[in-house]
């Protein structure tokens, strides 16, 4: 006797799901993987190992990783305050956290450029200190921190809400200091969520375009990101070269996400 599935219409829903996944994910990925081989392996390798390409990849992935690393403690602090404390203006602060997600990326880039430009509010204050943000790799980092922070906050918040206060109180009763409680009780429970937030912020930063190109300056070998280089190759009708760079970014991103998933399993 065959057992019926508890889900009604399982076959139909599975077919629709696989169809949509194929149309939206698998077919575009297959096209991305096949197009670069028009150049042959030697042409593909030469396309992705140009000094300009390597510099763009280094900036995109390096800045995204550094921005995600900055966002982890900052996002944890913000999420902790939003969950554990009640203060005037909390709803407004909660809405402001999501602003980088709601703003068009171009608007965010223009706002950051106006803020950190040499004549901007913060740029003018930093200039006497010899710190230049706009039109430098530091500007890229600031833009990626801005767009990636909400991911860490929103991923960590539900975990903090479900975190029992009893464990913290028990640690305090047993004589643990606040730092010991944080290191041995709180952080181990939040580590998987923090790692997930890091991965989400990293993925957003690697593919970010609109908020970066305005503040980066887009100088080749200095402040040019990989997504911009893909757009430049497309404008030059170099579709195979653009697909080669996209495939290289896909492979690096997949390797990073696979490593993060393995770390999450070990923590679990």
How many angstroms separate the CA atoms of 175 and 258, rounded? 40
How many angstroms separate the CA atoms of 192 and 189, rounded? 7
| Residue that the structure tokens 């081989």 belong to | 37
What local confidence, expressed as pLDDT, does residue 101 receive? Answer: 86
What is the CATH T-level fold of the domain 37-267, as seen in this structure? MetI-like fold (1.10.3720)
- Provide the 10 A C-beta neighbour count for residue 47: 21
Average the pLDDT over 185-214 and give the result: 89
202 exposed, middle or buried (CB, 10 Å; 0-12, 13-18, 19+)?
buried
* C-alpha angle 159-163-164 in degrees, rounded to nearest 5: 165
Q: What is the pLDDT of residues 29-64, one digit of tens each?
A: 777 777 777 888 888 899 999 999 999 999 999 999
Yes or no: say if 100 and 108 are a contact pair by the CB < 8 Å rule. Answer: yes
Q: How many Cα atoms sit within 13 Å of 109 on the Cβ side?
A: 16
Q: pLDDT class for 14, splitting at 50, 70, 90? A: confident
- Please give the structure tokens belonging to residue 244: 């080669």
Yes or no: say if 126 and 191 are a contact pair by the CB < 8 Å rule. Answer: no
How many angstroms separate the CA atoms of 209 and 105, rounded? 8
What local confidence, expressed as pLDDT, does residue 156 receive? Answer: 93
What local confidence, expressed as pLDDT, does residue 140 receive? Answer: 94
φ, ψ dihedrals at 163, nearest 5°: -75, 120
What local confidence, expressed as pLDDT, does residue 4 receive? Answer: 60
DSSP labels, 11-56: HHHHHHHHHHHIIIIIHHHHHHHHGGGGGHHHHHHHHHSSHHHHHH
What local confidence, expressed as pLDDT, does residue 212 receive? Answer: 92
Yes or no: say if 202 and 68 are a contact pair by the CB < 8 Å rule. Answer: yes
Yes or no: say if 84 and 160 are a contact pair by the CB < 8 Å rule. Answer: yes
Q: pLDDT class for 224, splitting at 50, 70, 90? A: very high
Instruction: Give one word for 9, left, alpha or beta, with left for phi > 0 and alpha for psi -120 to 50.
Output: left
Tell me which of 214 and 20 has the higher pLDDT. Answer: 214
| Residue that the structure tokens 């404390």 belong to | 85
Segment among 93-97, 182-186, 213-217 with least mean pLDDT: 182-186
Instruction: List, as own/partner pairs, every contact residues 81-85 make where C-beta atoms lie below 8 angstroms and the sequence separation is at least 24, other chains included.
Output: 82/153, 82/157, 83/157, 83/160, 83/161, 84/160
Average the pLDDT over 98-105 and give the result: 86
At residue 208, the 3 state secondary structure works out as coil
How many angstroms separate the CA atoms of 127 and 162, rounded? 45
């Amino acid at each position: 006797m065959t057992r019926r599935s508890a889900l009604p219409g399982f076959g139909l829903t599975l077919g629709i799901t696989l169809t949509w996944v194929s149309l939206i994910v698998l077919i575009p990925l297959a096209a991305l993987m096949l197009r670069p081989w028009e150049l042959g392996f030697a042409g593909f390798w030469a396309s992705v190992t140009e000094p300009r390409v390597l510099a763009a990849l280094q900036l995109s992935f390096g800045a995204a990783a550094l921005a995600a690393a900055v966002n982890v403690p900052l996002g944890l602090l913000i999420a902790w305050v939003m969950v554990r404390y009640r203060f005037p203006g909390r709803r407004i602060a909660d809405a402001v956290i999501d602003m980088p997600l709601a703003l068009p990326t171009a608007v965010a880039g223009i706002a950051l450029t106006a803020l950190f430009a040499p004549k901007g509010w913060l740029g003018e204050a930093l200039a006497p200190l010899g710190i230049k943000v706009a039109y430098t790799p530091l500007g890229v980092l600031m833009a990626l921190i801005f767009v990636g922070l909400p991911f860490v906050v929103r991923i960590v918040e539900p975990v903090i809400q479900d975190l029992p206060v009893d464990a913290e109180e028990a640690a305090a009763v047993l004589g643990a200091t606040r730092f010991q409680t944080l290191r041995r009780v709180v952080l181990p429970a939040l580590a998987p969520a923090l790692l997930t937030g890091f991965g989400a912020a990293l993925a957003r930063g690697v593919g970010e375009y609109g908020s970066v190109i305005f503040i980066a300056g887009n100088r080749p070998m200095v402040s040019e990101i990989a997504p911009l280089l893909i757009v430049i190759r497309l404008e030059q009708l170099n579709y195979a070269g653009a697909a080669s760079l996209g495939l290289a970014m896909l492979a690096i991103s997949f390797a990073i996400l696979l490593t993060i998933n393995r770390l999450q399993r070990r923590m679990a």
